[in-house]
Amino acid sequence: MALPLSIGRHLRSLLISQAHPCLVRLGLDYAVVEVTGDAARYGLDALVAGQDIRDQLPLMHGCDLAAEERWPMVEVVTGVHADVLIRPLATGAHLLLTDVSHEHAERQAVQQHANEVNLLNSKLRRSLEELEAARAELEARNRELDELNRIKTRFIAGLSHELRTPLTAIIGHSELLRERTSEATPDLEESLMAIESGSGYLMSLVNNVLDQASLETGQLAMHPAPTDLALLFEETAAMMRPMAEQRDLVFRFEAPKGGLPDWVETDATRLRQVLINLVNNAIKYTDEGFVELSVEWTGETLRVEVADTGPGIPEAQRERILLPFQRGERVGKQSGVGLGLAISLQIIRLLGGDLVIGERDGGGAVFRVELPLVEIAHAVEPLTAGQRTASSARIAAMLPSRLPVLLVEDSPGIRILYRHVIKALGYPVEEAIDAASVWRHLESAEPSIIIVDLNLGESDGAELVRTLRADGYRGLVVGWSASSLRDDQERMFAAGADAYLVKPVPPAVLKETLRELLMTRSSEKGSDTTSGG
Amino acid sequence: MESRKICILGDFAVGKTSLVQRFVNNQFSDKYLTTLGVKVDTKQVALDDGRALKLAIWDVAGTDTPTQLFLRYTRGAAGYLLVADRTRPETLEACVRLRDAVAGTLRPLPYVFLGNKSDLVDRCRLQQGIAQARLPDALDWLETSALTGEHVELAFRRLAVGMLSKPPSQV
């Protein structure tokens, strides 16, 4: 671009006024020859001819004067940011400094911002990595906890099994003793009562601990079935009344005026357990007065109240005593570990309802249960006349005396007990203690019903059932165990069992279970009910 | 008195300027101010054998990528300090790249590795053993803190001794 001389002069003047150049001519030995321009701006105003430039301008240390060099944005001693140019000469070099402070300030601000953003990103990335690491660690800990919980549950189940098996024998044999002793002396009666009371208490403790462990691990499954509510409440009241009277308490129960639905769908066993827990608790902590069980049906919800004339429960303690292993401050010397109410609350919630504690008008506590329930038409359709005839014929073919039972149980006490119970129900009974003895038995005779304990010492009851089914055994199989864990029940059913019972199995329950299974099998297959029948 | 140009190199915000300020002026500011271009300071170090060396310290703008401009700033240096931030392990890799560029473009120069910000004990994630493995040719590997001054003086002295122990043609 060709510029008029005057314009060129103007531009030169403009550049000099903005760039504030300082030109230093150097000899080959770094000695200053001449300084022109704005030397003060760069701290070079004290330079004198012959002086080593490196004394005043340290950036010249290590600099090769024979090579052209340019360093942009060098901060010098005055704080000015200079563009430094070194141009070799035959006799040394020219050193040119120009002020780029303005450009530096602008670019520095941009760079500062970019670096700060990068630092923030880096911190964010690190935080995310730490979060991820923390999450992974938490997951690992959770897995460990799950495993520990599983071990704990298995331990409790195992312990419970070990405790319940001898307890079942004690309770069962004391009942047998009572049956066999037609005229018990007062001393014998007293001893039997002590055995029954002590073993019953121990059994309830063991059951509660196992239930709590099962609840904590989601192993306590509800089994809704058609339930006769009126019967359930009458039975519960009949069971609890003597306990109240034993403590000189009045027990009140009246059937609801509006009545109860004939049949509802719920887990009767668990609902009964809750009612017993609540009434038992009321009896335990009431010294005089009464305990009242009342029930109301709204058409959709069952409302149950258990009220007492005991000391009541302060409001501040009401939530706490519904937690596991927590007991009220007024429990005194009453025995217990603080599980009954906690288990009751959890069962009611599993059934879809709620349990709250309140104060009875006139003093005492009241436990209120609200449980939404679905009313169903009939549990069992009535039989027609023709069906009744056919059924009678089938039932005749199912006489217990014609249905041999093989009892597979490794515990001698339980085996002896249920040998008597099964015999008393009318079934011929043979015994086996493990899988090997079952196969030996099957070589000579095939039973109609096999009752198998899940835990057979060295053998696994579920595995035995699975092998029996695989081998073609078509008779009824009832699995039982002292364990009520859902996993154990499912394992037994998956192996091919027709029913699963939790020990101790009352004779009536065993009788009813066998009857129902035989009826069902009979309905399905006609009179040829069982392979051995 | 002998003099040498040295550079202090490393990624941005690893604390290079703070280390120089601690060494030259015995000052520390926790305010982060990005260096753009280069700032040159001088300081004389007295060595154990009685010698003294004047250092022209080039505090070069931080980068994780060795650009042509970066290499122009380092030309003429007799040695350098290579700085990583111990709370940001990725800044060690920037050191490795810068070391490779200096050695490849200029020539292998003596250097001391500094793992800086050692005062941030809870956040330090860069261990010295890793730095030693990645930069085995360093004169030394020091854990430094511009805040407390830990090993700052020592770092410059180690480099000074290292440079002086080389024949003049190599520095």
B2-166: CATH superfamily: P-loop containing nucleotide triphosphate hydrolases (3.40.50.300)
pLDDT grade for B169, boundaries at 50, 70 and 90 = very low
Collect all residues of chain B within an 8 Å Cβ-Cβ radius of residue A54: 3, 56
pLDDT in the model for residue A533: 35
Picking from A62, A64, A111, the nearest residue to B78 by CB comes out as A62
Collect all residues of chain B within an 8 Å Cβ-Cβ radius of residue A76: 40
Predicted TM-score of the model (pTM): 0.55
CB environment A413-434: b (16+ within 10 A), e (fewer): bbbbbbbbbbeebebebbbbbb
Select the more confidently predicted residue: B24 or A215. Answer: B24
- Nearest residue to A81 (alpha-carbon basis) of A54, A105, A57: A105
CA angle B116/A77/A11 to nearest 5° reads 120
> Nearest chain A Cα to B34, which residue?
A112
**How far apart, in whole angstroms, are the C-alpha atoms of residue B13 and residue A118?**
10
A5-99: CATH superfamily: PAS domain (3.30.450.20)
CA angle A258/A262/A264 to nearest 5° reads 105
pLDDT by residue, tens only, chain A of 533 residues: 788 889 989 888 888 888 999 999 999 999 999 999 999 999 999 999 999 999 999 999 999 999 999 999 999 989 999 999 999 999 999 999 999 999 999 999 999 999 999 999 988 998 999 999 999 999 999 999 988 877 887 787 777 777 888 888 888 888 888 877 767 688 888 888 888 878 888 888 888 888 887 787 777 778 888 888 998 999 889 889 988 998 999 999 987 877 899 899 998 888 999 999 999 999 988 999 999 999 999 989 999 999 999 999 998 888 888 888 777 666 555 666 778 899 999 999 999 999 999 999 889 999 999 999 988 876 455 555 555 555 565 555 567 888 999 999 998 888 988 998 899 889 999 999 999 999 999 998 889 999 999 988 888 999 999 999 999 999 999 999 887 777 888 899 999 999 999 887 888 888 888 988 888 887 765 544 444 43
Is residue B8 within 8 Å of residue B83, measured between CB atoms?
yes
Give the Å distances, CA to CA, from A356 to A278, A330, A342, A345, A373.
11, 19, 11, 8, 18
Is residue B140 within 8 Å of residue B133, measured between CB atoms?
no
Collect all residues of chain A within an 8 Å Cβ-Cβ radius of residue B32: 115-116, 119
Question: Is residue B12 over pLDDT 90?
Answer: yes
User: Looking at the complex, does the CB of residue A99 fall below 8 Å from at least one CB of chain B?
Assistant: no
Please, where in chain A does CATH 3.40.50.2300 lie? 399-525
ipTM for the complex shown: 0.91
B133 Cβ contact list (under 8 Å, min separation 6): none
Is residue B81 within 8 Å of residue B94, measured between CB atoms?
no
Chain A and chain B share a number of CB contacts under 8 A equal to 72
> Nearest chain B Cα to A74, which residue?
B38
Picking from A59, A104, A119, the nearest residue to B40 by CB comes out as A59
Please, where in chain A does CATH 3.30.565.10 lie? 229-376
Check residue A527 and give left, alpha or beta (phi > 0: left; psi -120 to 50: alpha).
Answer: alpha
**How far apart, in whole angstroms, are the C-alpha atoms of residue A435 and residue A438?**
5
Listing DSSP states for A396-438 in one string gives: HHT-GGGS-EEEE-S-HHHHHHHHHHHHHTT--EEEESSHHHH
Query: What single-letter DSSP state applies at residue A183?
Result: S
Mind telling me how many Å the CA of A117 is from chain B's nearest CA?
12
Residue type, A11: L
User: Between A101-180 and A412-424, two packed helices, what is the crossing angle to 10 degrees?
Assistant: 60
> What is the token pair recorded at A527?
């009179």
The per-residue pLDDT of chain B, averaged, comes to 93
Binary contact (A62, B56; C-beta < 8 A): yes
Give the Å distances, CA to CA, from A169 to A450, A503, A505, B151.
20, 10, 11, 79
A344 Cβ contact list (under 8 Å, min separation 6): A273, A274, A277, A278, A355
Mutate to test the interface with B, among A52, A57, A61 (most CBs of B within 10 A): A61
Number of H helices, E strands in chain A: 14, 20
Binary contact (A62, B77; C-beta < 8 A): yes
A47 Cβ contact list (under 8 Å, min separation 6): A24, A32, A35, A39, A53, A56
Binary contact (A74, B37; C-beta < 8 A): yes
> Nearest chain B Cα to A68, which residue?
B72
**How far apart, in whole angstroms, are the C-alpha atoms of residue A7 and residue A19?**
18
Collect all residues of chain A within an 8 Å Cβ-Cβ radius of residue B13: 115, 118-119
Picking from A62, A63, A75, the nearest residue to B37 by CB comes out as A75
Domain boundaries, chain B: 2-166
The yes or no reply on domain A105-216 and CATH 3.30.2290 is: no
Listing DSSP states for B82-133 in one string gives: EEEETT-THHHHHHHHHHHHHHHHT----EEEEEE-TT-GGG----HHHHHH
Enumerate chain B positions whose Cβ falls within 8 A of a Cβ in A: 3-5, 12-13, 32-34, 36-42, 54, 56, 58, 61-62, 69, 72-73, 75-78, 88, 90
**How far apart, in whole angstroms, are the C-alpha atoms of residue B14 and residue B116?**
7
Please, where in chain A does CATH 1.10.287 lie? 105-216
What is the CATH number that goes with domain A229-376? Answer: 3.30.565.10
Mind telling me how many Å the CA of B56 is from chain A's nearest CA?
6
Helix/strand/coil percentages in chain B, nearest 5: 35, 25, 40
Collect all residues of chain A within an 8 Å Cβ-Cβ radius of residue B68: none
Is residue B115 within 8 Å of residue B157, measured between CB atoms?
no
> Nearest chain A Cα to B41, which residue?
A58
Please, where in chain A does CATH 3.30.450.20 lie? 5-99
The yes or no reply on domain A399-525 and CATH 3.40.50.2300 is: yes
A376 Cβ contact list (under 8 Å, min separation 6): A226, A263, A264, A265
> What is the token pair recorded at A321?
């005593």
Question: Is residue B39 over pLDDT 90?
Answer: yes
